Amino acid sequence: MDDGDLPRPKGDAASKLAAEDLAPYSRHELDERVALLKAEITRVETHRDKASAHRAAADALFGGKPT
């Protein structure tokens, strides 16, 4: 079975991160974490925008409902 065929695990990474205690982290570690999270937000937004564009192109080509 391909990994893509497996069901997604319950919960998501964002909710796990939100529940983590930040008290043990130094200012530098928190700055690094913020930078990584901002990069992840950019990655997700880019993927979302590509998916929307792909869907719009498919709808235009095949006459789907406009979103």
Convert the pLDDT of each residue in 10-49 to its tens digit: 778 888 999 999 999 999 999 999 999 999 999 999 999 9
* pLDDT at residue 41, as a whole number: 95
For the chain, give the number of residues.
Answer: 67
Closest CA to 61 of 53, 50, 46: 53
User: Contact at 8 Å (CB) between 61 and 55?
Assistant: no
Look up residue 48 and give its amino acid.
R
